[in-house]
Structure 1
């Protein structure tokens, strides 16, 4: 009797390390999820697979989000049908992936992702073939196509809150890892032994931070404990995959909180080493600039406005740039070539860590280049700059720098006024600049960047779209 009582009160950590072989089943009177909230196409996929004799469930984030009264971004299905069997059932399906093979069933613009139940990963490669998982020396999973049962699939999922299976036919939730418990307690908890699960895939550390930020949860203490020590393993992840992960981290609407968690758990430096070094050197300026850029990004996403990774990466990397340029100037290089060379090297270094495509790296350089051109306004230069397609992004970036405390002698305010001025007013503004330049240095009136500016935008947020 005592033994049974003890087992029934095992800690969530113990239960998470050893998921149940039989799930806790929650009927439709025990949870808030309703069939009508689910994509009709997702229900069609599940029910057609079930009619064909397969097991099929909605799984993961869509179940979690609906329990939290959030709108899911997409609807994923888990089944014991292989990707090829799914394709045989749906003419509108195709098999994708190599590291993780799955099927995409397309309904117009909506894609329902269908994954086959996966099993635990073997520790060796003695049976390596097309339906086999393999690891490298550190334990990181290189391929993940070991098919298994529903119970296997629940055990190999990363977090308890993502190991929930919903059957729209019976409206029941199957909970193998006490995920509903952790949702109620607002915890991100790994399934299994945290060190081992992070070693299998270090990106899980980034996912833990992303889910905690997105959902307003805390990372459960045992799941959080190994992160700082294992964070350097992220350097082993391919740069293309890390670029995709960075977009998920910072373009999900909770970028500021995500940044705070990345810094707290030493995950920021493996992603942005030069920026992390600048944050350590000058935490007030660097932190303010990055946080303001992320706040602006979150606000634009909340308002449904476009954002681009180019502006975001320009802001994340900028704090490392002036010091690099200053070093080159100390070696005798002129200021503008020094800034251009420093920008080139900095972006090349970052590309090695997160594979920024040229469609973003080129605009980053153009935004930075605009910071050197905006102070040069004499003659016709100001009007030519206004016509430059990167002016808006460069101007918004200037305001971002000033908001972080950079002193620009009122440059942002000048450009704000110039955009709204008439032709005659613009000529007077240029003439005043010339007169100011002719004055002795001691007689010039300096204006700080802290004065209130009348910006042309109505939402108060710099345009991070780069358009």
Structure 2
């Protein structure tokens, strides 16, 4: 298959918009006689005049060759053997071109290729050509290459046309590709929401059919994806795609059913995601504890009140409700214990904002979890129009503390 090639005068991608670390890796590979491309989302974003969050390199050099070539190289992964080339403050992920999923996997050892019972790829270290690698990728808009040798854009999968049409299209049969890696369904929703694209109808229908396959995805990968969803800068739009495709149910089973019981409950979720989008656009860092406390906050408050109504103390109700929900969610999304404890502290600390007498406020403000708890308190006060006097008290107290520090 002959690729579509855009020569340098015919596209907008410039080396000045690519990180200096990625450029160093590309030129070192080129000087060693290797083929070296910027691959995937970095090329897509540059063509769309967006700032890529990272740059991935694809090459015909094997992982072992890369390790010998770069002293600052570390090989990672078993399922996909990758090279992380380390620079100060940046990692350039470098992968060897991969071949198609073999029809007869028995010709390969378990160390190179293996699938699970339902077709999910468990290990994939069979190397191939640039064309084979492009056609192995998930979506056409992620299968574009930037060639450092002549500064051209190479397209084997029709990604350039789909960029123009603003479509997320699966490469190959969607049912097969989602069976190989169910997380691709979430990625489709994330890319559609982030880029403002539509999901192509065949892929959309396949997601709706296959959404329950997410149960077989690695829970650690799901946690990584959920963090990306919450803090991609377009969390509201992504949430709407997750809801439309039905992906919310296998991701957050109990929570999604609670939302379905009363659609008005989505108001809190939408406003939290809008707030996260504002933080992301302002380049503010938010702790994972806050990322998980805010969207699920109203649901946690509902669960806490249920336990209090049954006779639990507020303290026990808070701990049991939050930990019960998040630990139960770990079957699908493995939330780290530290994050669960942080969410518990945020919710448990809400009652401390009611206590404004004596030295309690000053002591509370000096605790490690105060700021995260205050972010939640401030947000919930504004959304529900409650505790306005308390909010004013704590806001003034914090301002006084800042002035004293100055």
Q: TM-score, normalised to structure 1's length?
A: 0.80
Is the Cα–Cα contact under 8 Å of residues 39 and 144 in structure 2 kept in the other structure? Answer: yes
Residues 1:400 and 2:382 are matched in the alignment: no
Is the Cα–Cα contact under 8 Å of residues 98 and 136 in structure 2 kept in the other structure? Answer: yes
Shift of 1:131: 5.0
* SS state at 1:53 partner: coil
Question: Which of residues 122, 131, 146 in structure 2 aligns to 1:142?
Answer: 122
CA shift digits 1:86-121 (9 cap, x unpaired): 122222222111110011222322222211011111
Shift of 1:352: 2.8
Q: Which moved more, 1:119-128 or 1:241-250?
A: 119-128
Question: Which of residues 30, 36, 48 in structure 1 aligns to 2:28?
Answer: 48
Question: Which of residues 332, 338, 343 in structure 2 aligns to 1:359?
Answer: 338
Shift of 1:174: 1.2
Is the Cα–Cα contact under 8 Å of residues 292 and 400 in structure 1 kept in the other structure? Answer: no
Is the Cα–Cα contact under 8 Å of residues 140 and 159 in structure 2 kept in the other structure? Answer: yes
Question: Closer, same or farther in 2 for the Cα pair 1:338/1:39, shift >3 Å?
Answer: closer
* SS state at 2:100 partner: coil
* SS state at 1:316 partner: coil
Shift of 1:64: 0.9
Residues 1:385 and 2:349 are matched in the alignment: no
Residues 1:177 and 2:157 are matched in the alignment: yes
Shift of 1:376: 4.2
Shift of 1:199: 0.8
Question: Closer, same or farther in 2 for the Cα pair 1:364/1:51, shift >3 Å?
Answer: same
Is the Cα–Cα contact under 8 Å of residues 322 and 343 in structure 2 kept in the other structure? Answer: no
Is the Cα–Cα contact under 8 Å of residues 378 and 391 in structure 2 kept in the other structure? Answer: no
In 1, distance between residues paired with 2:18 and 2:374? 43
Q: How does 1:120-269 map to 2 (within 5 A)?
A: 120-129=100-109, 131-269=111-249
Question: Closer, same or farther in 2 for the Cα pair 1:322/1:113, shift >3 Å?
Answer: closer
Cross-structure match for 2:97: 117
Cross-structure match for 1:75: 55
In the alignment, structure 1 segments of 5+ residues that lack a partner are 1-20, 422-454, 457-467
CA shift digits 1:195-245 (9 cap, x unpaired): 111111010011111111221211112221111221111111121111111
RMSD: 2.3
Is the Cα–Cα contact under 8 Å of residues 164 and 176 in structure 1 kept in the other structure? Answer: yes
Query: Larger Cα Rg: Structure 1 or Structure 2?
Result: 1
In the alignment, structure 2 segments of 5+ residues that lack a partner are 400-406
Shift of 1:179: 0.7
Cross-structure match for 1:328: 307
In 1, distance between residues paired with 2:279 and 2:305? 34
Cross-structure match for 2:9: 29
Cross-structure match for 2:404: none
Cross-structure match for 1:318: 297
Residues 1:415 and 2:358 are matched in the alignment: no
* SS state at 1:78 partner: strand
Is the Cα–Cα contact under 8 Å of residues 353 and 390 in structure 2 kept in the other structure? Answer: no
Is the Cα–Cα contact under 8 Å of residues 36 and 148 in structure 2 kept in the other structure? Answer: no
Is the Cα–Cα contact under 8 Å of residues 124 and 135 in structure 1 kept in the other structure? Answer: no
* SS state at 1:29 partner: helix
In 2, distance between residues paired with 1:109 and 1:339? 39
Shift of 1:371: 2.2
